[in-house]
């Protein structure tokens, strides 16, 4: 493995996973208070090798292998944050975060408000999430709505290697707790990373493809699927604009609303089930704020309201370009 030289500037091409590794390395070099915690993140480098070689280079006091006890990991991180450290926790798989749910939602999210702002909680909780890898139960969940619903937490999800590199550093620098959702199916595709400066702040949404007929919106791995759908739609004469949400709490509605006011139509796509979801909130807000610009109702494409299925049914459960295009056609038919 070639280690990225984080002192360099310019543009380099690397996979999403290596961009995350480089971002963690840079944050640890810049601030000795940054420590990493998680199951098998030391010599192994984590299940997805995101922390590969970091214990070797920074030592076991800064890259800590923990017991298999997610609630204990988060509780320990809370104490470390109170002591002046900036812990970064790796949850091995999305479905494993729920044993720590009480610590995250009733303690971590509330401590700063409980103490009138006198205590900061600079903790990042990294969660590989989502489908597309053919895994078993508890390994392909989309828990973002639980955390976006919880006041006191920041929730973000990068979709490109460049965003992964910069957003993990911005999350670590935040004095608020950040749920950092990593779309695990995007760990391997490569992309350009500008090592000189971030393109956007952590909580900014972004238009990633210009279009004029329909606005397509999503986050994480779904952005790639939306771009595939937009390319297919273009071949059929329909121009789709694609917006990458990037931040799920808070949501940057500016570029999204500007796009909807221009196209008059919107389709939101997500891997998570549709009932009481992030897509529900985005759709309701767009209907409130851009009602008179809409030529059709905001439509949603999502995973089904069932537990995530076995691997052989994954492609049926997850939204694909065809399901998105079907929603585009329905929107244009109004």
Return the residue matching tokens 């935040």: 174
Q: What is the pLDDT of residues 254-307, one digit of tens each?
A: 999 999 999 999 999 999 999 999 999 999 999 999 999 999 999 999 999 999
- In terms of Cα–Cα distance, which of 104, 117, 206 is closest to 148? 104
Q: What is the pLDDT of residues 222-246, one digit of tens each?
A: 999 999 999 999 999 999 999 999 9
Query: Do 190 and 13 form a contact (C-beta atoms < 8 A)?
Result: yes
E-strand spans in 184-307? Answer: 190-194, 206-209, 214-218, 240-244, 247-249, 266-273, 299-303
The helix (run of H) or strand (run of E) holding residue 86 is: strand 86-90
Q: What is the pLDDT of residues 155-204, one digit of tens each?
A: 999 999 999 999 999 999 999 999 999 999 999 999 999 999 888 999 99
Q: What is the pLDDT of residues 288-298, one digit of tens each?
A: 999 999 999 99
Pairing of strands 11-15, 190-194: antiparallel
* 4 pLDDT tier (thresholds 50, 70, 90): low
Return the residue matching tokens 């320990």: 76
Name the pTM for this structure: 0.95
- In terms of Cα–Cα distance, which of 225, 218, 271, 272 is closest to 248? 218
| Cα–Cα distances in angstroms (integers) from residue 27 to residues 23, 166, 173, 224, in the given order | 6, 10, 8, 27
Instruction: Please give the CATH number for the structural domain made up of 11-194.
Output: 3.40.50.970
Return the residue matching tokens 């903790």: 123
- In terms of Cα–Cα distance, which of 159, 171, 155 is closest to 27? 171
Catalytic residues: 139
Question: Please, is 235 exposed, middle or buried when counting C-beta atoms within 10 Å of its C-beta (0-12, 13-18, 19+)?
Answer: exposed
State the distance between the two ends of the chain, measured CA to CA, in whole angstroms.
53
- φ, ψ at 147 (rounded to 5°): -85, -35
Return the axis-axis angle of helices 321-333 and 222-235, rounded to nearest 10°. Answer: 60
Q: Does domain 206-333 have CATH number 3.20.20.70?
A: no
Q: List where CATH 3.40.50.970 sits in the chain.
A: 11-194
Q: List where CATH 3.40.50.920 sits in the chain.
A: 206-333
């Amino acid at each position: 493995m070639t280690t990225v030289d984080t002192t360099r500037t310019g543009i380099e091409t690397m996979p999403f996973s290596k961009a995350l590794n480089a971002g963690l390395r840079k944050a640890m070099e810049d601030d000795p208070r940054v420590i990493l915690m998680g199951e098998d993140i030391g010599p192994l480098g984590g299940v997805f090798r995101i922390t590969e070689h970091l214990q070797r280079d920074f030592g076991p006091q800064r890259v800590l292998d923990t017991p298999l006890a997610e609630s204990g990991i988060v509780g320990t991180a809370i104490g470390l944050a109170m002591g002046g450290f900036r812990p970064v926790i790796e949850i091995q798989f999305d479905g494993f975060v729920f044993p720590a749910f009480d610590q995250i939602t009733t303690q971590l999210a509330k401590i700063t408000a409980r103490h009138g702002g006198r205590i900061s909680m600079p903790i990042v909780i990294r969660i590989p999430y989502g489908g597309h890898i053919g895994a078993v139960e508890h390994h392909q969940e989309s828990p973002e709505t639980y955390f976006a619903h919880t006041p006191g937490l920041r929730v973000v999800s990068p979709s490109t290697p460049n965003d992964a590199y910069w957003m993990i550093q911005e999350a670590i620098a935040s004095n608020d707790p950040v749920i950092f959702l990593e779309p695990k199916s995007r760990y391997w595709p490569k992309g350009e990373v500008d090592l000189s400066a971030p393109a956007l702040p952590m909580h900014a949404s972004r238009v990633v493809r210009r279009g004029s007929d329909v606005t397509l919106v999503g986050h994480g791995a779904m952005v790639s699927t939306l771009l595939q759908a937009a390319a297919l739609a273009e071949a059929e004469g329909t121009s789709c604009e694609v917006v990458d949400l990037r931040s799920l709490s808070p949501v940057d509605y500016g570029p999204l609303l500007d796009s909807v006011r221009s196209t008059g139509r919107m389709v939101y796509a997500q891997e998570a089930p549709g009932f009481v979801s992030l897509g529900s909130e985005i759709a309701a807000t767009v209907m409130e704020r851009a009602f008179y610009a809409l030529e059709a109702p905001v439509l949603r494409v999502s995973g089904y309201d069932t537990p995530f299925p076995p691997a052989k049914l994954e492609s049926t459960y997850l939204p694909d370009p065809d399901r998105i295009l079907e929603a585009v056609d329905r929107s244009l038919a109004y």
